[in-house]
């Protein structure tokens, strides 16, 4: 049986590795926000080429997600972390999971655009989806900023911001129910748009989750 090499402390030390991981989390957040814009553009503009780029870009999101997760687990396996360092390592795992899942949700948005192709969306549905994209983007950027700065004030604001997304989702469902034609194309469109609304709502939930991780790290001392 092959011997398992013991896990050694990172060359720069635990604190330096945690800071490096936090920077990678912020970089991952920027990649996810970019995917949110591209996936929505693919949907609203019935642009299959842009959608393909979203799918290709998700490979890089997945790779960075797994890299940061592995490094965090290696730090935990040292058994040397305590206090804020321990909470930070645990929170990093949770945050990259939320960001990775958001990337997956944008793949789902892109797939919805393929199901709808080549039929364009009517003006009201387009407007609502674009507003949901904007709200989800604002929340995710606030969440990433809160994490980068370890700012509990920004983090605590995310729950209240999420009310706006809930309102938009209700507006979307009302519009779907009142504007859907009874033919096959209309029903298919209604199903896909309801799913897209759910994907953006879940994205906003992930932003709230990231805020909760910041509170977990910083708010521990309150």
pLDDT, one tens digit per residue, over 72-114 is: 999 999 998 999 999 999 999 999 999 999 999 999 999 999 9
CA atoms 55, 37, 61, 200: torsion sign: negative
Among the ranges given (22-31, 110-119, 161-170, 205-214), the one the predictor scored with the smallest mean pLDDT: 110-119
Q: How many angstroms separate the CA atoms of 73 and 96, rounded? A: 12
Tallying the residues shown for the chain, one arrives at 222
1 occurs within a structural domain: no
CATH number of 106's domain: 1.20.58.220
137 has a pLDDT exceeding 60: yes
Token pair belonging to 89: 């390592």
pLDDT of residue 6: 55
4 occurs within a structural domain: no
Structural domain span for residue 41? 14-221
The mean predicted confidence, pLDDT, of the chain is 92
Average pLDDT of span 41-62: 96
The band of 7, judged by pLDDT with boundaries at 50, 70 and 90, is low
Quote the number of domains for the chain. 1
222 has a pLDDT exceeding 50: no
58 has a pLDDT exceeding 70: yes
7 occurs within a structural domain: no
141 occurs within a structural domain: yes
């Amino acid at each position: 049986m092959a011997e398992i090499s013991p896990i050694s402390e990172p060359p720069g030390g635990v604190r330096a590795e945690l800071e490096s991981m936090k920077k990678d989390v912020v970089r991952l957040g920027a990649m996810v926000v970019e995917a949110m814009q591209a996936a929505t553009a693919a949907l609203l503009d019935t642009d299959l080429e842009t959608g393909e780029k979203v799918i290709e870009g998700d490979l890089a999101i997945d790779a960075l997600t797994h890299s940061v997760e592995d490094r965090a687990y290696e730090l935990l396996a040292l058994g040397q972390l305590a206090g804020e360092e321990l909470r930070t390592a645990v929170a990093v795992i949770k945050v990259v999971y939320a960001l990775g899942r958001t990337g997956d949700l944008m793949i789902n948005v892109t797939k919805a655009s393929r199901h709808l192709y080549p039929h364009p969306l009517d003006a009201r549905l387009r407007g609502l989806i674009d507003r949901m994209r904007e709200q989800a983007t604002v929340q995710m950027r606030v969440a990433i900023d809160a994490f980068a700065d370890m700012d509990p004030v920004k983090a605590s604001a995310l729950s209240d911001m999420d009310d706006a997304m809930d309102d938009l989702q209700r507006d979307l469902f009302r519009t779907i129910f009142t504007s859907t034609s009874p033919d096959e194309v209309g029903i298919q469109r209604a199903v896909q748009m309801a799913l897209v609304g759910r994907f953006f709502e879940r994205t906003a939930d992930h932003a709230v989750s990231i805020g909760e991780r910041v509170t977990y790290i910083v708010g521990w001392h309150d």
